[in-house]
Amino acid sequence: MLKLTRSDYFALRQHGEETYPHECCGVLLGRFDDGGAKTVWRIARCANTRQDSPQNRYHIDPKELIRIQREGRERDEDIVGFYHSHPDHPAQWSVTDLAEAHWFGCSYVITSIERGVAAITNSFELAGTDEGDKKLVDEKTEVA
């Protein structure tokens, strides 16, 4: 399960509206709970560096990720997941999303943006033990 505050939930959806018709992307920081759930304490917006096809691709600069990771360590936060948007496309993971997912145990949150307006937000956890058996599985999201 992924636990998000209402303000973070709306903030990541709003990010997708702001970057429409391009995909947005960002990082979820918080804690892995003992019971297997993840609690998000804050989100960090990132730039989508895929200038060649930003309407249906995203990529986060590793340098930006290192900075976010470093700031997170100083606050005792872990990277627990990522988010991105699918402009005029369902809030379901794509073949590309799975192929490019490498953070096992983390959440991949996808928001569909329909004609500029955030529609559905779904979360998927990258399950499996390695690249050979990985899969994105539906994950319950708790917004409070």
Chain residues that interact with another protein, rule: CB under 8 A = 23, 25, 27, 32, 50, 53, 56-60, 62-63, 65-66, 69, 73, 78-80, 82, 84, 86-87, 89, 93-94, 96-97, 99-106, 108, 126, 130-131
Q: How far is the CB of 48 from another protein (least distance, A)?
A: 9
Q: How far is the CB of 11 from another protein (least distance, A)?
A: 18
Q: State which residue, 11 or 65, has the beta carbon closest to another protein.
A: 65
Q: What is the 3-state secondary structure (H, E, C) of 84-116?
A: EEEECCCCCCCHHHHHCCCCCCCEEEEEEEECC
- The angle at the Cα of 136, spanning 133 to 137, to the nearest 5 degrees, equals 110
Rg (alpha carbons) of the chain, rounded to whole number: 14
Q: How far is the CB of 41 from another protein (least distance, A)?
A: 14
Q: State which residue, 32 or 140, has the beta carbon closest to another protein.
A: 32
Q: Which amino acid is at 104?
A: F
Q: State which residue, 6 or 95, has the beta carbon closest to another protein.
A: 95
Residue pair 28/81 in contact by the 8 Å Cβ criterion: yes
Distance CA 93, CA 109 (A): 9
Q: How far is the CB of 6 from another protein (least distance, A)?
A: 25
